[in-house]
């Protein structure tokens, strides 16, 4: 769920040399373009929600409760308190993207250096592996439960819990890429020439692991978005009345037979968002994979 | 093999000890004085001191940690602050529900995932592959708790095909038990099946282009035998691997699924405990989950090395 499926660390060509080829491959893939378009729309709706949303997301109008979709001024209908479902979805998308980006950024900041170190210095590899196992022993929901108990439920704590849960996957990918690149001739040559460890890691290994890291981050975001929805649904994430797609679903569960649209629409929004991210991530992985033409 | 086994056991033991320390430290990091929480309304200093003494809160951290570990090892996980029920019996009554749900979900996921993965690999470039891929992508993207809500709304409430919530123990009525669990297990299983499908497809594609398959084909084995025999072995490894890797997701998914279908399992126990700030229950639940995760992963790894002998060799390197 919140933990991204660990992508196969396909041997990828250096990032910079084939950037143009990657862009060309993406632009010639209609599915990838559709995914990018959906993402662009979602980002615009979320970022400019203040101006684009037809209503205040938290404004209640009890006289307009349970208005079905298509009611004048309420394209997607209203919920039990007469709040506009469309406006709440726009602000909910903002919260989802916020948590998604925050969680993945957290896993990048912690996971990438640890992965590089674990792959490069064999002496600390075992230690980092044990720490990874330790984090894995706490499923993300249990982590989130613990964090919510200690620090309270909030958007930030949800992002931290999801981010922590994604660190092991990130370490694993970066570590295996580091091991692979370290064994290549040009790295051995640099070491023989007397390059320092920091130079080799920063100048040779990190840039060449870039594409694998980007792919892992791309699949991490939709996983984090689903994770946020789950946590908010359970009441462990974003707190009402702040709009989140997860809390909208939790509310809607109470009156789902009366106003099914309030339960259907936020779920469709989450699905489209994560689907678009997953499609873009898949296309990116194929485009970065030198073997992809074979498949 | 023996060296691998010992090495793997040692790793699990270290992880388990670390996990216990994390749980212990986490509970100490909780806001507020636990004695105050235990005392409830009674804020009289005399009874607070009695509580501190009773729970060993006046001892040093090291002593407290030792008591925590030795009690837990004997199966004594304390009592619920809210109800006074021993946490152990709460867990014992919740666990079977979650285990049954998870096992059913894994079964469903394996059948759908392996089937769709094999079809996608064998029917490459045909509509069948396209459909299987699209379904897997959808399965990865759809929020499963929402799928559960939709299933309740349209299959249970509108059509009356399944009970919308509740649970019947297997041994009191197996048919009603399955009737209650089949929908939640399907919802939980579909997410897992998407991951299994993708992995099966890619390992099948690798296998189908391998030399030994060409040999099998060249010596005249019928295609069904080639795919069936080698696919089966490969997909068995895939399923075992995925179950290991996705165990955390499965546990998290079970918590949410139980919440939606109002199943009295481990997930419900967990979420309720957080909302009621029932710290002994939270502590026990986290510890049990971590232990289960470590033990199951150990079993998965050992099973893995039985199925695929190459792992043992790599594990020793």
Chain B, 251 to 280: residues with Cβ < 8 Å from chain A are 251-253, 255-256, 259-260, 270-271, 274-275, 277, 279
Q: How far apart are CA B181 and CA B175, in angstroms?
A: 10
Contacts of B265 in chain A (CB under 8 A): none
Interchain CB distance below 8 Å, B252 and A226: no
Point out the residue among B26, B198, B297 whose CB comes nearest to the CB of A150: B26
Structure-derived torsion over alpha carbons of residues B212, B216, B219, B220, reported in degrees to the nearest 10: -160
Residue B72 has a pLDDT of: 82
Q: How confident is the model at residue A115 (pLDDT cuts 50, 70, 90)?
A: very high
Cβ contact, residue pair A267, B31, below 8 Å: no
Chain A residues close to B26, C-beta within 8 Å: 146, 150
Task: Name residues 173-202 of chain B within 8 A of A (Cβ).
Answer: 191, 195, 198, 202
Among B10, B9, B25, B34, which residue's Cα sits nearest to residue B279? Answer: B34
- Alpha-carbon gap, residue B126 to B129, rounded angstroms: 6
Flag whether pLDDT at A13 surpasses 60.
no
**Residue A64: predicted pLDDT:** 76
The confidence score (pLDDT) of residue A16 equals: 52
Check CB contact under 8 Å for B279 and A8.
Answer: no
% pLDDT > 70, chain B: 88
- Determine whether the interchain pair A150/B29 forms a contact, defined as Cβ–Cβ distance below 8 Å: yes
Q: What is the pLDDT of residue A295?
A: 40
Q: Where are the beta strands (DSSP E) in chain A?
A: none
Cβ-Cβ contacts under 8 Å for B33 (sequence gap 6 or more): none
A-proximal residues of B, 120-159, CB under 8 Å: 137-138, 140-147, 149-150, 152-153, 157-158
pLDDT value, residue B312 = 55
Query: Mean pLDDT throughout B288-301?
Result: 84
- Chain B neighbors of A275, CB-CB under 8 A: 137-138, 141
In chain B, beta strands by DSSP E: none
Q: What pLDDT score does B315 carry?
A: 45
Mind telling me how many Å the CA of B290 is from chain A's nearest CA? 5
Q: Do B256 and A233 touch (CB under 8 A)?
A: yes
The DSSP annotation for B70-113 comes to HHHHTT---B-TTT--BHHHHHHHHHHHHHHHHHHHHHHHHHHH
Residue listed under structure tokens 């309030």: A262
- Give A225-280 pLDDT, tens digit per residue: 999 998 888 888 888 888 888 888 888 888 877 888 888 889 999 999 999 999 99
Decide if A139 and B251 are in contact by the 8 Å CB cutoff: yes
User: What's the confidence (pLDDT) of residue A283?
Assistant: 87
Residue A105 has pLDDT above 90, yes or no: yes
Least confident residue range of A260-264, B224-228, B229-233: B229-233
Cα B113 to the center of its chain, rounded Å? 17
Q: What residues contact A243, with CB distance under 8 A and at least 6 apart?
A: A57, A58, A87, A88, A89, A91, A92, A95
Provide the residue count of chain A.
295
Predicted pLDDT of residue A293 = 47
Asked if residue B36 has pLDDT above 80, the reply is no
pLDDT at A17: 55
Evaluate if residue A212 carries a pLDDT over 60. yes
Mutation target vs A (from B14, B192, B245, B248; most A CBs, 10 A cutoff): B248
The Cα of B103 is separated from the nearest Cα of chain A by a number of Å equal to: 18
According to the model, what pLDDT value does residue B182 have? 86
Nearest to B157 among A2, A249, A257 (CB): A257
ipTM for the whole complex = 0.80
* Lowest-confidence region among A54-58, B144-148, B304-308: B304-308
Q: How many residues does this entry show for chain B?
A: 317
Nearest to A144 by CA among A247, A40, A234: A234
* pLDDT (average), residues A117-121: 90
Inter-chain residue contact B143 with A230, CB threshold 8 Å: yes
Can you tell me the distance from the alpha carbon of B6 to that of B13, in angstroms, rounded to the nearest whole number? Answer: 10
Q: How confident is the model at residue A153 (pLDDT cuts 50, 70, 90)?
A: confident
> How many cross-chain Cβ pairs, A to B, lie less than 8 Å apart?
152
The overall average pLDDT reported for chain B is 80
Torsion A146-A148-A149-A152 (CA) sign: positive
Considering CB atoms only, which of B26, B146, B286 is closest to A267? Answer: B146
CA dihedral (A277, A278, A283, A288) positive or negative: positive
Task: Indicate yes or no: CB of B256 within 8 angstroms of CB of A257.
Answer: no
pLDDT of residue A294: 41
Nearest C-alpha neighbor of B80 from the set B32, B37, B21: B37
A164-to-A102, A169, A173, B277 alpha-carbon distances in Å: 11, 10, 15, 23
Which of A51-60, A104-113, B151-160 has the highest average model confidence (pLDDT)? A104-113
Q: What is the pLDDT of residue A107?
A: 95
Residue of A146, A148, A278 lying closest to B137 (CB–CB) = A278
Nearest to A275 among B141, B157, B202 (CB): B141
CB nearest A133 (choices: B11, B30, B137)? B11
Helix/strand number for chain A, H first, E second: 12, 0
Q: Which residues on chain B are in Cβ contact (under 8 Å) with A150?
A: 26, 29-31
For residue A84, the cross-strand partners are: A78
Residue B221 has pLDDT above 50, yes or no: yes
Tokens of A99: 């948590």
Using one digit for the tens of pLDDT, what is the confidence trace for A123-144?
Answer: 888 889 888 888 887 878 888 8
Task: Take residue B255 and report the two structure tokens written for it.
Answer: 């918590």
Q: For B264-279, what is each residue's pLDDT tens digit?
A: 888 888 888 877 777 7
Q: A11-20, A284-293, B187-196: lowest mean pLDDT where?
A: A11-20
Q: Count Cβ atoms below 10 Å from residue B53 Cβ, excluding itself.
A: 12
Alpha-carbon gap, residue B149 to A264, rounded angstroms = 9
- Write down the pLDDT at residue A36: 92
């Amino acid at each position: 769920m919140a933990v991204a499926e660990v992508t196969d660390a396909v041997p990828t060509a250096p990032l910079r040399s084939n950037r143009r080829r990657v862009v060309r491959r993406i632009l010639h893939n209609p599915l990838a373009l559709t995914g990018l378009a959906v993402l662009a729309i979602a980002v615009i709706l979320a970022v400019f929600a203040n101006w684009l949303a037809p209503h205040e997301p938290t404004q209640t109008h009890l006289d307009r409760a349970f208005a079905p979709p298509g009611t004048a001024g309420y394209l997607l209908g209203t919920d039990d308190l007469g709040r506009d479902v469309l406006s709440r979805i726009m602000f909910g998308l903002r919260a989802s993207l916020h948590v998604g980006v925050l969680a993945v950024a957290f896993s990048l900041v912690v996971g990438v250096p640890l992965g590089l170190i674990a792959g490069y210095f064999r002496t600390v590899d075992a230690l980092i592996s044990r720490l990874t196992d330790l984090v894995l022993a706490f499923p993300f929901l249990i982590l989130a439960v613990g964090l919510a108990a200690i620090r309270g439920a909030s958007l930030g704590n949800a992002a931290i819990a999801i981010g922590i849960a994604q660190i092991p996957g990130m370490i694993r990918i970066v570590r295996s890429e580091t091991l692979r690149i370290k064994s290549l001739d040009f790295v051995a040559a640099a070491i023989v020439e007397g390059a320092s460890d920091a130079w080799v890691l920063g100048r040779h290994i990190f840039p060449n692991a870039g594409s694998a890291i980007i792919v892992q981050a791309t699949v991490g975001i939709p996983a984090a978005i689903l994770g946020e929805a789950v946590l908010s649904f359970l009441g462990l994430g974003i707190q009402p009345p702040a709009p989140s797609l997860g809390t909208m679903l939790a509310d809607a569960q109470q009156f789902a037979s009366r106003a099914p649209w309030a339960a259907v629409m936020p779920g469709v929004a989450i699905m489209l968002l994560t689907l678009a991210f997953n499609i873009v991530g898949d296309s990116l992985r194929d485009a970065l994979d030198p073997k992809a033409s074979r498949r | 093999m023996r060296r691998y086994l010992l090495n793997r056991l040692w790793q699990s033991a270290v992880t388990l000890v670390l996990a216990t320390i994390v749980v212990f430290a986490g509970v100490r990091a909780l806001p507020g004085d636990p004695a105050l929480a235990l005392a409830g309304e009674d804020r009289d200093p005399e009874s607070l001191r009695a509580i501190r003494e009773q729970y060993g809160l006046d001892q040093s951290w090291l002593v407290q940690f030792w008591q925590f570990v030795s009690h837990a090892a004997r199966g004594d996980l304390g009592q619920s602050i809210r109800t006074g029920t021993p946490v152990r019996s709460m867990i014992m009554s919740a666990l079977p529900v979650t285990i049954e749900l998870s096992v059913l979900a894994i079964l469903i996921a394996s059948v759908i995932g392996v089937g769709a993965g094999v079809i996608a690999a064998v029917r490459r470039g045909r509509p069948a592959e396209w459909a299987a891929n699209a379904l897997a992508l959808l399965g990865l993207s759809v929020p499963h708790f929402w799928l559960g809500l939709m299933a309740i709304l349209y299959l249970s409430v509108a059509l009356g095909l399944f009970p919308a919530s509740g649970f019947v123990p297997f041994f009191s009525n197996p048919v009603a038990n399955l009737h209650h669990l089949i929908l939640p297990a399907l919802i939980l299983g579909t997410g897992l099946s998407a991951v299994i499908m993708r992995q099966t497809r890619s390992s099948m594609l690798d296998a189908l282009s391998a030399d030994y398959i060409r040999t099998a084909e060249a010596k005249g084995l019928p295609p069904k035998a080639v795919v069936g025999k080698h696919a089966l072995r490969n997909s068995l490894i895939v399923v075992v691997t995925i179950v290991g890797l996705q165990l955390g997701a499965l546990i998290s998914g079970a918590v949410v699924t139980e919440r939606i279908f109002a199943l009295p399992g481990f997930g419900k126990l967990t979420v309720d405990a957080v909302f009621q700030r029932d710290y002994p229950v939270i502590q026990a639940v986290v510890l049990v989950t971590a232990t289960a995760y470590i033990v199951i992963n150990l079993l998965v790894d050992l099973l893995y090395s039985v199925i695929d002998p190459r792992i043992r060799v790599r594990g020793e390197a």
